[in-house]
């Protein structure tokens, strides 16, 4: 068991694990939007930004022939990125629970351009503005923003631990 933990926290392996969990998390968000039809709000889109920064960074750290010191710094940077992600998720979850107000301009993705006036009027009747104050869905009591906090903190903690771990033979 200790050998498995040691192997998982080897820096390149840890980066790959961070990458896999981050891909799964952003994949779940995109799946819920494009397959399940859960429309994201403005804060939902903002919460994706850290993932879009972390994914190419993790790919580069894992794929390129880098020194252990560079990978260590990269893991520390990934940890910081996911702490920011957790903060964004906590802010959004707080808005959903009514702990503090959200942005005034919070709404969902824009509707597709109307082809004519009648189509535009129909869109006005059927378009649903997505509010940041309402969770699109909850699973085990947590909204997607809440799950983002949990996943981001887990990734950040793991990346920080792997970054701080002494290298083999050192």
CATH of the domain at 127: 1.20.1550
Is 76 a domain residue? yes
- 50 in a domain, yes or no? yes
* Each residue's pLDDT tens digit, 4-56: 555 665 999 999 999 999 999 999 999 999 999 888 999 999 999 999 999 99
DSSP-H helix ranges across 64-137:
68-97, 117-126
pLDDT in tens, 144-169: 999 999 999 999 999 999 999 876 54
Does residue 60 sit within a domain?
yes
In the chain, the number of structural domains is 1
- What radius of gyration do the chain's Cα atoms show? 19
> What pTM did the predictor assign?
0.80
Domain that holds residue 116: 2-164
Task: Assess if residue 169 is contained within a domain.
Answer: no
The answer to whether residue 170 is domain-embedded is: no
CA distance 151 to 130: 24
């Amino acid at each position: 068991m200790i050998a498995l933990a040691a192997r998982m926290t080897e820096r390149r392996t840890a980066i790959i694990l961070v990458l896999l969990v981050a891909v799964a998390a952003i994949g779940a968000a995109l799946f819920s939007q494009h397959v399940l039809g859960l429309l994201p709000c403005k804060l939902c889109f903002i919460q994706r930004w850290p993932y879009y920064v972390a994914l190419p960074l993790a790919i580069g750290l894992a794929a390129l022939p880098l020194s252990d010191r560079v990978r260590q710094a990269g893991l520390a940077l990934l940890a910081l990125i996911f702490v920011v992600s957790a903060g964004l998720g906590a802010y959004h979850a707080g808005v959903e629970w009514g702990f503090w107000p959200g942005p005034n301009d919070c709404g969902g993705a824009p509707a597709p351009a109307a082809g004519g006036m009648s189509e535009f009027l129909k869109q006005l009747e059927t378009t649903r503005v997505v509010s940041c104050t309402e969770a699109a869905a909850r699973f085990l009591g947590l909204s997607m923003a809440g799950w983002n906090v949990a996943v981001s903190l887990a990734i950040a903690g793991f990346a920080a631990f792997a970054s701080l771990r002494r290298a083999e033979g050192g």
